[in-house]
């Protein structure tokens, strides 16, 4: 495949991935059940709030759909075109999810989508993030704050990969992890503030 054709294909795939990411399963499931997540629970159209408002089984369904909508496109592009285009596609899905134009830029927090994209590119890193998340949930008892801890862990892994201190994470993948983590953290500022104020009151 020529360089120009690859660029055009990649651009088309990135746009398509952004649109796929913009489709929000939590919102669609809630509407099918006659609910509006924007006015219920935390107001966030994501798996955690879906589980809180609609029930655990619906929250799990939304979680699986969010993971898959990032995992499948990223994996397919990685196998067809290589890691480089796959990184762009994975990031595009996460951006589409978090800044969905269908929800006027107020999408989900991107945790599940980020997990799906990372699972397709670096499965060991994704498993490590899941373990860190589970430990954080057990300690903090708050899913949002545990998500922040796991995402900060991903950020550190990305930085170490960029500077060459992790042989199993290339500089390109490390930089990509930093970008993905930054997008997710940008959507968790309320959780960070809540944790900070609780610490100050102790």
Q: Same domain for 47 and 132? A: no
Closest CA to 149 of 126, 163, 130, 162: 130
Q: Same domain for 28 and 109? A: yes
Q: How confident is the model at residue 3 (pLDDT cuts 50, 70, 90)?
A: confident
Q: Same domain for 13 and 113? A: yes
Q: Same domain for 90 and 2? A: yes
What pLDDT score does 7 carry? 81
Average pLDDT for 97-124? 93
**Among the listed ranges 121-130, 166-175, 185-194, which one has the minimum average pLDDT value?**
185-194
What pLDDT score does 201 carry? 60
* Number of domains present in the structure of the chain: 2
What pLDDT score does 130 carry? 95
What pLDDT score does 8 carry? 85
Q: Same domain for 136 and 70? A: no
Task: Compute the radius of gyration of the chain from its Cα atoms.
Answer: 17
The domain of 105 spans 1-117
Q: Same domain for 146 and 88? A: no
Q: Same domain for 98 and 25? A: yes
CB 154 within 8 A of CB 180: yes
Residue 202 has pLDDT above 60, yes or no: no
**Among the listed ranges 44-58, 85-99, 145-159, 187-201, which one has the minimum average pLDDT value?**
187-201
Q: Same domain for 107 and 182? A: no
Q: Same domain for 113 and 132? A: no
Q: Same domain for 9 and 101? A: yes
- Whole-number percent of the chain with pLDDT over 90: 66
Last residue of a domain, one of 59, 84, 117: 117
Q: What confidence tens digit (pLDDT) does each residue in 11-22 have?
A: 999 999 999 999
Q: Same domain for 188 and 97? A: no
Last residue of a domain, one of 117, 148, 176: 117
Q: Which residues neighbour 34 within 8 Å (Cβ) at sequence distance 6 or greater?
A: none
Q: Same domain for 89 and 138? A: no
């Amino acid at each position: 495949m020529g360089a120009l054709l690859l660029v055009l294909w990649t651009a088309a795939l990135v746009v398509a991935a952004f649109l796929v990411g913009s489709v929000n399963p939590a919102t669609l499931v809630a509407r099918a059940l006659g609910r509006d997540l924007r006015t219920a629970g935390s107001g966030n159209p994501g798996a955690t709030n879906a589980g809180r408002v609609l029930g655990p089984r619906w929250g799990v369904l939304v979680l699986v759909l969010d993971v898959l909508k990032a995992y499948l496109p990223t994996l397919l592009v990685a196998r067809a075109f290589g890691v480089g285009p796959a990184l762009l596609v994975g990031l595009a899905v996460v951006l589409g999810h978090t800044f969905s134009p269908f929800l006027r830029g107020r999408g989900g927090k991107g945790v599940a989508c980020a997990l799906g994209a990372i699972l397709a590119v670096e499965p060991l890193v994704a498993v490590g993030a899941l373990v860190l998340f589970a430990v954080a949930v057990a300690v903090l008892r708050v899913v949002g704050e545990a998500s922040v801890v796991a995402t900060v862990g991903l950020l550190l892994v990305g930085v170490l990969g960029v500077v060459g201190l992790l042989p199993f994470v290339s500089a390109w993948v490390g930089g990509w992890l930093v970008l993905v983590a930054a997008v997710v953290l940008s959507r968790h500022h309320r959780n960070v503030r809540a944790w900070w104020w609780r610490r100050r009151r102790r």
